[in-house]
Structure 1
């Protein structure tokens, strides 16, 4: 197996989910007492979010580049960023190291395209929703992306950062997201892309009237394929 570097801590609840799923995936594929060879660099999320709020993308990139270089020095043969929004600076991170970075948006685009659903609803933070670094790969794959209504996006962002990042799960929040997803479906979404790594902690398949694509699950599957030498 290849040694995977994981940049985590954004937030820690999503990183814990990555850790669990990567280990369960290796065990399921190889059996016995096998577990995932990982090198995790857990960054302090506060300065990362401060950079996001200030629009200081170079500052954010510096933090993640430092983390990426540290796992590369530690022997990691490949890298993932265990967060969706921080892929805003994924290209800068990838350019700063000599190991491959497995991009969550590109993995999601491949998985959704394979499902043959052509119009997708999109749930994510404000930065991810309003940017094109994530929706771009989806659209380049021939998909139409439907975002939440403009007045819904700040509340989606607040609930992700104010609750889910901290591992807080509330029934009222689940109901709110159900309503947002219902609106996306009414506007033509054939499936929902959960483009926030914590959203899968809150939402289950039965919470929507159409299939869901949990990008954490997709990213983990991509990483497992790479770790087990099933892809370049």
Structure 2
């Protein structure tokens, strides 16, 4: 549905799932993927429990670490559309850099053609690290791994550029929220 642009239909499916989670007694909801936060406003409109937004969790960690200019890797949807970037800019004052078009093509295709298929390729890792280096050379103080699968390919041991794994950050954020 993502690739067909059927975001409204996706929102309906996820809203129904969210209502089931809420009916089951959940105190909050996590959407455990960056790209699907595109439909978070529609889901929020259909439930009464809060959505703990993955971009908010990431932004709070970035600001806590003093990062105000960041590169963003993710699906083409996350890198090109405003639902994620705009939230970082407007709500948190974080400047967001995205890769150039050729690099966005690489990032996106590796996610869907390799990582989502369980394939971890050393050549793709090097291509990703080249993109990370280019973002750092443009002034990014850190890079957001803004797709939950990217951490399968690259991690902090591969680069000196600080990487922010949204999967881990989001999970930690939810635990802190739950016990507060």
1:73 corresponding residue in structure 2: 23
Aligned residues: 179
2:103 corresponding residue in structure 1: 152
Q: Is 2:132–2:161's contact at 8 Å kept on the other side of the alignment?
A: no
Give the 4+ runs in structure 1 shifted more than 6 A: none
| Normalised TM-score (structure 2) | 0.95
From the CA coordinates, give the structure whose radius of gyration is larger: 1
Among 138, 160, 175, the alignment partner of 2:126 is 175
Task: Give 5+ residue unaligned stretches, structure 2.
Answer: none
Residue aligned with 1:98, SS: coil
Q: Is 2:18–2:29's contact at 8 Å kept on the other side of the alignment?
A: yes
1:5 corresponding residue in structure 2: none
Task: Give 5+ residue unaligned stretches, structure 1.
Answer: 1-50
Q: Is 2:133–2:161's contact at 8 Å kept on the other side of the alignment?
A: no
**CA-atom RMSD, angstroms?**
1.2
> C-alpha displacement at 1:207, in angstroms?
2.0
Q: Which sits farther off after the overlay, 94-103 or 203-212?
A: 203-212
| Normalised TM-score (structure 1) | 0.74
1:191 corresponding residue in structure 2: 142
Residue aligned with 1:81, SS: coil
Q: Distance in 1 between matches of 2:23 and 2:113?
A: 34
Q: Is 1:120–1:145's contact at 8 Å kept on the other side of the alignment?
A: yes
Is the counterpart of residue 131 in structure 1 residue 81 in structure 2?
yes
Among 158, 170, 177, the alignment partner of 1:219 is 170
Residue aligned with 2:82, SS: coil
